[in-house]
Structure 1
Amino acid sequence: MADSVTVRELVENARLTVYDGADYLDERRITTPDISRPGLEMTGYFNYYPPERIQLLGITETSFSKKMSHDELLMIMRKMADPKTPCFVVSTNIEPPAELIQAADEAHIPVLGSKQTSSRILSNMSIYLSGVLAKRQSIHGVLIDIYGLGVLITGDSGVGKSETALELIRRGHRLIADDRVDVFQQDEQTLVGEAPKILNHLMEIRGIGIIDVMNLYGAGAVRSSAKIQLIVHLQNWTTDAQFDRLGNAEDERQIFDVQVPMISIPVKTGRNLAIIIESAAMNFRARSMGYDATKTFDHNLNQLIQENSKRDEAAAGDLPTSAQPQDDQKAQGH
């Protein structure tokens, strides 16, 4: 997890324009992904002003500022230009007020701009900052993009995670991270995994060593990050181990505040794990779209039971009426 990012990094990743204060881009640092819209502050209400946040001004704030006198607006802007304030951002290609430029320049605070609307640029900056500043957790495993589905392959060391992932890459799927996956929570329901910079595009295969997947298989064989939507846990097969055969069991693993579906696959000599994991990912996607093979099997089984029951009832109804008395006489004779 990064404790902070520079304003320069924000400018490069959010594609912002620098109106003023280019010399302070590396000096000012951002420590929170929260962004403030200083509407009340424009009226002089500073009781709950969060100076450590990026201050975003849009059409509403700049329109209100035009009704203020020069001295009044300069006083407000100087209050907003706190030593903790990382930068000001003006949206929708609006020309920043001269009073804002003066106050920000006095406090060595960059003034940035964007052609995007306030809502759009706020969303873009929040997504970038949330990813960079979010808490991270390192998980031992391999993250693969299978048909657009982020599949995290876990298991004990030496169980065959990297070899299975390499076969999946040869089948056209894409590598995100091998051996160590850095995971962060993007929102309440989304986990994102990526590779540490030192391991980017690299895999370790026992007996071969380190290989560069992008050089061997091309740029289409790698991705920088992916959402983790399914966990496949590889487990050595034993005679007493219990594995789900019908797909009724729905295990989950909690990472941060998100519950991720997990399936366990037994590892045994002769099993093609790459094809099995690929099928598991396709089956998971089908279930997410509303098709459940387990429910189809249950429906077919229930229908077969009902048909057999009706056939048995029909067969019992075809018995001769004299059959019952004859059976009773035989029973009494015995």
Structure 2
Amino acid sequence: MSKVQTKHLIKQFNLKILAGEKGLDREFIMSDISRPGIELTGYFRYYPKARLQVLGKTEISYLNELSKEDRIDRAKRLCTKVTPCIVITRGLEAPQELIDQCNEADVPLLSSPYKTTRVVSRLTNFLEAEFAPFTTMHGVLVDIHGVGVLITGQSGVGKSETALELVKRGHRLVADDSVEIRQEDYDRLIGSSPELIEHLLEIRGLGIINVMTLFGASAVRSRKEIDYVINLEIWNEKKQYDRIGIEDEIIRIIDVEIPKTTLPVRPGRNLAVIIEVAAMNFRLKRLGVNAAEEFSKRLTEMIEKEKENLENGIRYE
């Protein structure tokens, strides 16, 4: 979980500080956002005080219609010790009573020129991403024809060399060696590279190379949704590998299940081409075209036909 402070919002969304500047180091403890409506009428029993509070045209208009004493009361009760900040949208003018109470309680009062729905949407997306479940995996993440392929395997199996060949073939590198993964939705995993090694590839015997410098900006991207996992392992003569592709493997990362394929590695196999074809085949499966199932169906039909011919031949005798 990331450490998010109010000052990060100011930098990210170019918000204007109206009051409570001393509280810019306040930390968020959740990603939820609140629009205090019933609270402005005086009912604070279930007030979600630890959330970011957003005041739009309706809330500000209602506050301005209250008496001065009521405005002071509502502003004082809105500003608690755990309230990270209050954001006023549409560039509306803040009531003086709210400004005074924010300064007194050191609750940052911020202003945005945009509409309330847009502000809430952008703030929600930002906070959800920052508070999303997070993990790190050893591997290489590559964008192949729009499919985010996470290549895993033990150290020295050839992941980085394969990624380099894929980049040469026109695909894009996202991360090498260490992949930071965030679950930004119930079923979406977003992978990115640590800032220290972004755009870099480590090739044993050659050292570290900068992919963007060598191949251009089109050869890299900063983040990509993970759609498919390919695990590379040294060829084991005693192991029976899938030759048809009907059985689908699954790997669970955080709370999301991702399709997985295991590819055996041995001299003479062009892994870059195989992984490229695997990604293309994965796209076809998502579109409803499954070559393995089609082959199985043909085989079944042929067996049934042979059985029928055999039974007819016996019957004629």
| 1:251 CA drift (Å) | 1.3
1:78 matched residue in structure 2:
76
**Alignment partners' CA distance in 1, 2:212 and 2:181:** 22
**Alignment partners' CA distance in 1, 2:36 and 2:8:** 23
Give the 3-state SS of the residue equivalent to 1:5 in structure 2.
coil
Aligned 1:137-286 pairs, distance under 5 A: 137-286=135-284
**Unpaired stretches in structure 2, ≥5 consecutive residues:** none
Which whole-Å deviations, capped at 9, do the CAs of 1:46-102 have from their partners, x for residues lacking one? 222232221112233234324322221221011111122221112344443333333
1:18 matched residue in structure 2:
16
Asked whether the 8 Å contact 1:36–1:53 carries over to 2, the reply is: yes
**Alignment partners' CA distance in 1, 2:296 and 2:57:** 59
Q: How many residues get paired?
A: 317
**Alignment partners' CA distance in 2, 1:289 and 1:117:** 38
| 1:122 CA drift (Å) | 2.1
TM-score normalised by the chain length of structure 2: 0.91
Give the 3-state SS of the residue equivalent to 1:295 in structure 2.
helix
Q: Give the 3 Å change call, closer, same or farther, for CA 63–301 of structure 1 in structure 2.
A: farther
**Alignment partners' CA distance in 1, 2:284 and 2:223:** 23
Q: Give the 3 Å change call, closer, same or farther, for CA 312–117 of structure 1 in structure 2.
A: farther
Q: Give the 3 Å change call, closer, same or farther, for CA 46–22 of structure 1 in structure 2.
A: closer
Give the 3-state SS of the residue equivalent to 1:187 in structure 2.
coil
**Alignment partners' CA distance in 2, 1:205 and 1:134:** 32
| 1:24 CA drift (Å) | 4.2
Match of 1:11, as an amino acid? Answer: I
Range with greater deviation from structure 2 (270-279 or 44-53)? 44-53
**Alignment partners' CA distance in 1, 2:103 and 2:72:** 12
**Alignment partners' CA distance in 2, 1:209 and 1:130:** 37
Q: Give the 3 Å change call, closer, same or farther, for CA 302–279 of structure 1 in structure 2.
A: same
Asked whether the 8 Å contact 1:138–1:180 carries over to 2, the reply is: yes
**Alignment partners' CA distance in 1, 2:314 and 2:290:** 37
| 1:257 CA drift (Å) | 1.1
Asked whether the 8 Å contact 1:6–1:25 carries over to 2, the reply is: no
| 1:244 CA drift (Å) | 1.5
Give the 3-state SS of the residue equivalent to 1:143 in structure 2.
strand
1:99 matched residue in structure 2:
97
2:292 matched residue in structure 1:
294
Match of 2:4, as an amino acid? Answer: V
| 1:180 CA drift (Å) | 0.8
**Alignment partners' CA distance in 2, 1:115 and 1:273:** 52
Asked whether the 8 Å contact 2:20–2:104 carries over to 1, the reply is: no
**Alignment partners' CA distance in 1, 2:14 and 2:65:** 27
Q: Give the 3 Å change call, closer, same or farther, for CA 25–176 of structure 1 in structure 2.
A: farther
Q: Does 1:32 align with 2:26?
A: no
Aligned residues: CA RMSD: 2.2
Match of 1:304, as an amino acid? Answer: M
Give the 3-state SS of the residue equivalent to 2:30 in structure 1.
coil
Q: Give the 3 Å change call, closer, same or farther, for CA 95–316 of structure 1 in structure 2.
A: farther
Asked whether the 8 Å contact 1:18–1:110 carries over to 2, the reply is: no
Which whole-Å deviations, capped at 9, do the CAs of 1:124-145 have from their partners, x for residues lacking one? 2122222223342111111111
Asked whether the 8 Å contact 2:20–2:106 carries over to 1, the reply is: no
TM-score normalised by the chain length of structure 1: 0.87
1:136 matched residue in structure 2:
134
| 1:246 CA drift (Å) | 1.3
**Alignment partners' CA distance in 2, 1:244 and 1:77:** 66
Asked whether the 8 Å contact 1:230–1:261 carries over to 2, the reply is: yes
Which whole-Å deviations, capped at 9, do the CAs of 1:203-224 have from their partners, x for residues lacking one? 1110011111111111111111
Match of 1:223, as an amino acid? Answer: R
Q: Give the 3 Å change call, closer, same or farther, for CA 138–273 of structure 1 in structure 2.
A: same
Q: Give the number of the structure whose alpha-carbon radius of gyration is greater.
A: 1
Identity %: 42
**Unpaired stretches in structure 1, ≥5 consecutive residues:** 325-334
Range with greater deviation from structure 2 (301-310 or 171-180)? 301-310
Range with greater deviation from structure 2 (164-173 or 113-122)? 113-122
